[in-house]
C-alpha cells in the first residue's frame, strides 16, 4: 500500500510522535515509553511514518534513533494554503457586506418615539 503524508498525520498518536521527534532525536524505546499503548503498536506507527517519509531510523550503537524529516509536511501546508486563501476571500467579502449594512443603517433617519404618558385614573 502506498502511504502519503496525509495518512501519516491522520492519526493523533502519529502526530504526537512527529512532534516529539521534531524537537529531539529519540530512540525507539524512548518514544514507546511516552505512550500508554504497546511497543508493537508504536512500532507500527513509526513504520507508517517511515513509509511516508516523515521519519528516518538511524542505528547508533545498540539503539535505533528516530529523526524527523519535516520537509514532507510542505505538501500538507500547500494543500491547506488553498483553503486559507478561499476563506480569507470569503471573510473579506463578509466584512465588506457587514460594513455596507452598517453604513446603510447609520444613514436611515431615526424615528422619533412618542413620549409615554400616564393615564389618569
Alpha carbons 121 and 114: distance in angstroms, whole number:
21
Helix (H, G, I), strand (E, B) or coil at 120: coil
pTM exceeds cut of 0.75: no
Alpha carbons 32 and 37: distance in angstroms, whole number:
8
Alpha carbons 53 and 49: distance in angstroms, whole number:
6
* Residue 20 contacts residue 34 (beta carbons within 8 Å): yes
Per-residue pLDDT of the chain (121 residues; tens, 9 = 90+): 668 899 899 999 999 999 999 998 898 889 999 999 999 999 999 999 999 999 999 988 888 899 999 998 998 998 889 888 889 999 999 999 999 998 888 877 766 667 667 776 6
Q: Dump the DSSP string for 34-82.
A: TSSS-HHHHHHHHHHHHHTTSEEEEEETTEEEEEE-GGGGHHHHHHHHH
Amino acid at each position: 500500500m502506498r502511504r502519503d503524508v496525509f495518512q501519516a498525520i491522520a492519526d493523533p498518536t502519529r502526530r504526537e510522535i512527529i512532534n516529539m521527534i521534531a524537537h529531539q532525536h529519540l530512540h525507539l524505546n524512548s518514544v514507546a515509553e511516552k505512550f500508554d499503548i504497546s511497543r508493537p503498536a508504536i512500532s507500527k506507527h513509526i513504520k507508517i511514518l517511515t513509509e511516508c517519509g516523515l521519519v528516518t531510523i538511524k542505528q547508533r550503537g545498540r539503539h535505533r534513533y528516530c529523526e524527523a524529516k519535516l520537509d514532507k509536511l510542505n505538501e500538507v501546508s500547500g494543500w491547506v494554503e488553498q483553503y486559507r486563501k478561499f476563506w480569507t476571500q470569503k471573510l473579506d467579502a463578509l466584512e465588506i457586506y457587514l460594513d455596507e449594512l452598517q453604513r446603510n443603517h447609520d444613514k436611515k433617519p431615526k424615528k422619533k418615539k412618542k413620549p409615554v404618558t400616564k393615564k389618569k385614573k
